[in-house]
Amino acid sequence: MNPKSSPRSGKRAVAKRGDGPVTLEAVALAAGVSPSTVSRILNGTAVVSELKKKAVEDAIAELGFVPNPVARGLAGGRTLSIGVITQAIDSPFYGAALRGIEDELDPLGYRALFVSGHWNAAAESRCVEVLRSRRVDGIIVLTGRLTDQALKTCAKNVPIVVTGRSLKASGLISLNFDNFEGGRLATQHLIDLGHRSIAFISGDPDHPDAVERLRGYRAALEAAGLAYDAKLVIPGEFHEVSGLLAVDRLLESRRRFTAIFAANDQMAVGAVLGLHRRSLRVPEDVSVVGFDDLPSSLFSIPPLSTIHQPAYELGRLAASAMVRLLAGDKSTEELPGPRLIARESSRRLAG
């Protein structure tokens, strides 16, 4: 394409030229050492005399040398890329986590390669293959549907950090969030406000987060001596339409309820809209509490009470755990626990 530079041209005595990026070899030439030495200094792989080190560092600075990650990947097996299996690249919930990963990795020279698994084990397996063929140094799996076993097997070949479950295996770190406690807190909040008939819009039952949140709901009811009423539990699928439909079903059932706890904010917002359509006001007629604390929930009408999930921190922690794992350190920081954010969609039961 570019006729001016022949990629096959032999080496010149003086390697420096405007055309083409500066190579490690050019640095070696300029510093009067061998390429091996430059490589070692770059990677901190061996002790090198201060003198040569200085010379090489100067040459690097002067030439503006940036190692080629592609060549590095081929030769050494390290690409400074971390694969990230997210469920949808445009997920409002995982967005913050992706940003956290990016923020953590960027200053360390790592790049994230984001791929979407679409909540589908087969697609996620394909993602793993794609990422491995790209020679990523490690893979961060944001929840997803891969089995524990699949993940463990995978971790034998490539370091894994997985969120949304607790799992012990070599080469693998898991980072879980306490969804049970979150569900409990949300329900307790409503109970504290005097509500006795609390509906629950549940998430996808084969999603672990969903079952944990339901368990939390039940635990809070039980602790308060309130009967669990299966008719007040409506299945949903974690999206807005689920919330809307759930309200319709709830209303049609003619069961009395003064509050709704939705297993995520998207369903909560859908529920609020459903109530609005039936001319029921939030929180005057019905209190609503969500789960996740999406960025947009702060600006819902009314601003949504919810359980804050530290998605951004989750991303940062996952990324830093990965980087440490690559360095052979399996320690991980604790993820902040669930926290109730009481805003305007929930209030004390009148009368």
Min dist CB 69 to DNA, Å, is 8
Would you say 240 and 274 are in contact if contact means Cβ atoms under 8 Å apart?
Answer: no
The token pair that represents 32 in the structure block: 């009067």
The region of 147-155, 180-188, 206-214, 268-276 touching a second copy under the rule CB under 8 A is: 268-276
Would you say 129 and 154 are in contact if contact means Cβ atoms under 8 Å apart?
Answer: no
Distance between CA atoms of residues 261 and 222, nearest Å: 16
194 Cβ contact partners less than 8 Å away, ≥ 6 residues apart? 348, 349
Residue 310 interacts with, from DNA, a second copy, none (CB under 5-8 Å by kind): none
Q: Does residue 89 touch a second copy according to CB under 8 A?
A: yes
Residue 271 interacts with, from DNA, a second copy, none (CB under 5-8 Å by kind): none
Min dist CB 102 to a second copy, Å, is 6
Tokens 């997803």 belong to: 144
C-alpha closest to that of 69 among 53, 82, 57, 80 = 80
Residue 169 interacts with, from DNA, a second copy, none (CB under 5-8 Å by kind): none
Q: Is 290 exposed, middle or buried (0-12, 13-18, 19+ CB in 10 A)?
A: buried
Binding mask 279-318 for a second copy (x = CB under 8 A): ----------------xx-xxxxxx---------------
The token pair that represents 119 in the structure block: 């909540």
Residue 45 interacts with, from a second copy, DNA, none (CB under 5-8 Å by kind): DNA
Residue 304 interacts with, from DNA, a second copy, none (CB under 5-8 Å by kind): none
Q: Which residues bind DNA (CB under 7 A)?
A: 7-8, 10, 20-21, 23-25, 33-40, 42-43, 45-49, 51-52, 65-68, 71-72, 74-78
Residues in the chain: 351
- Phi/psi of residue 222, each to 5°? -60, -45
Among 31, 273, 286, 321, binds a second copy (CB under 8 A): 273
How far is C-alpha 229 from the geometric centre of its chain's CA atoms? 34
Q: Interface residues with a second copy (CB under 8 A)?
A: 7, 21, 66, 68-71, 73-74, 77, 79, 88-92, 95-96, 98-99, 102, 111-116, 129-130, 133-135, 240, 244, 266, 269-270, 272-273, 276, 295-296, 298-303
